[in-house]
Amino acid sequence: MSGVSIPALVVVGLIGLIGFAVSGLMVARSQAEAQRLASRIQDALRPHARSHRVWMSALVRAKSGPQRSLRERVSGWFGFDPARPEQCPVPWWVVLAVALVSAKAGQSAAAMLFGNWSWLALPALWIVSSRAIFNWFANRRRDKLLTQFPDALTMIVRSVRVGVPVGEAIRAVARETPLPTGPEFAQVTHRLAVGGQLDEAVRELAARTKLSEYRFFAMTLSLQAQTGGGLSETLEGLADMIRRRLAVRERGKALASEAKMSIYVLSVLPPLCGGALALLNPQYFGVLLHDPTGRKLLGGAIGSLTAGWMVMRTMMKKSLS
């Protein structure tokens, strides 16, 4: 510090403080200018903004419902929805009984490998079997809904083109369309009859069916109700798109028919061979039933066959999805 005096350091420090103050004022002034510019742009665009906004998330995702009861939770474990009994064409207790029988058969096969410990897997097998059956019925119903949906859209388009309101067109679809599309649109008409809004009714329809095509339908009606436009042309394009998607899916099923038949043959051939062997030489086949090692081999064979069938079915579904 011998070459620098104290007054010089003070001057340098004051100059630095003044520089920092000036830079801070300039930054604050630029931010204030940016905020004023943004507010002026917003004020200029406010008269041209829409008074109602279309929330796409509300059209795509269903609203969260109330807290479920214990009965609904247990039913959900087994794959059954008490609020939608029409999804299953047979009584729910019949499905549970069939699932219990199939679970007991699986437990008997597992007993050949694990002995009494296999009883622990019986509840899990029961739940998995019942969920598979209920999901199978639900998927069949959704396939019917998707197959009948283009015809329902075409009926709505023709009604709208001749001057019929959309609500009356939906009532015509509910009257003239077969199961299961007719009852679904009938619920929309019931909602409209008690004073509900059309966009909310079709949004609930899309949430019930769990199909993306019905969500597109709900979006179309909601946007048309708020912005206007040609509804018949949009619905006709949606119907054509769905028909093309169905045609592509059916073509994929036709191309995969050979592989599907191979799955069926490979799945049925081992039980047929085992049954024929049991009839031709019961003593030879009896080793698999009475000998401990034979029972383990038979249980392993059944498990391998089941696992292979599930893998092949999963690969087939993934290739067609």
pLDDT tens-place string over residues 253-305: 888 888 888 888 888 888 898 889 889 988 888 888 888 888 888 888 888 88
> What's the pLDDT at 170?
92
What is the signed CA dihedral for 9, 11, 12, 16, rounded to 10 degrees? Answer: 130
Considering the domain architecture, whether residues 166 and 238 belong to the same structural domain is answered as yes
> What's the pLDDT at 4?
47
Q: Is 85 a member of any domain?
A: no
> What's the pLDDT at 302?
85
Considering the domain architecture, whether residues 208 and 235 belong to the same structural domain is answered as yes
What CATH number corresponds to the domain at position 194? 1.20.81
Domain count across the chain: 2
Among 203, 230, 252, residue at a domain's last position: 252
> What's the pLDDT at 150?
93
Q: Is 287 a member of any domain?
A: yes
Mean per-residue pLDDT, 99-117:
83
Write down the pTM of the prediction.
0.68
Q: Is 223 a member of any domain?
A: yes
Identify the band that residue 53 occupies on the pLDDT scale cut at 50, 70 and 90.
very low
Question: Regarding predicted confidence, which is higher, 310 or 24?
Answer: 310
CB atoms within 10 A of CB 102: 17
Mean per-residue pLDDT, 133-147:
92
Residue of 166, 145, 159, 264 whose CA lies nearest to 214:
145
Cα gap 321→313, rounded to integer Å: 12
Considering the domain architecture, whether residues 243 and 304 belong to the same structural domain is answered as no
Among 226, 252, 278, residue at a domain's last position: 252
Q: Is 198 a member of any domain?
A: yes
Among 200, 218, 252, residue at a domain's last position: 252
Q: Is 72 a member of any domain?
A: no
Q: Tell me if residue 281 falls in helix, strand or coil.
A: coil
Tell which phi-psi region holds residue 81, choosing left (phi > 0), alpha (psi between -120 and 50) or beta. Answer: beta
Considering the domain architecture, whether residues 153 and 214 belong to the same structural domain is answered as yes
The string of pLDDT tens digits covering residues 183-207 is: 999 999 999 888 888 888 999 999 9
Considering the domain architecture, whether residues 292 and 230 belong to the same structural domain is answered as no
Considering the domain architecture, whether residues 161 and 240 belong to the same structural domain is answered as yes
Considering the domain architecture, whether residues 242 and 154 belong to the same structural domain is answered as yes
Considering the domain architecture, whether residues 266 and 222 belong to the same structural domain is answered as no
Considering the domain architecture, whether residues 233 and 286 belong to the same structural domain is answered as no
Q: Is 115 a member of any domain?
A: no
What is the signed CA dihedral for 76, 78, 79, 84, rounded to 10 degrees? Answer: -70
Considering the domain architecture, whether residues 243 and 265 belong to the same structural domain is answered as no
Considering the domain architecture, whether residues 245 and 267 belong to the same structural domain is answered as no
One-letter amino acid of 69: S
Q: Which domain holds residue 229?
A: 142-252
The string of pLDDT tens digits covering residues 56-104 is: 444 444 444 556 677 778 888 888 888 888 888 888 889 999 999 988 8
- DSSP, residue by residue, 151-185: HHHHHHHHHHHTT--HHHHHHHHHHHS-TTHHHHH
Considering the domain architecture, whether residues 286 and 213 belong to the same structural domain is answered as no
Q: Is 124 a member of any domain?
A: no
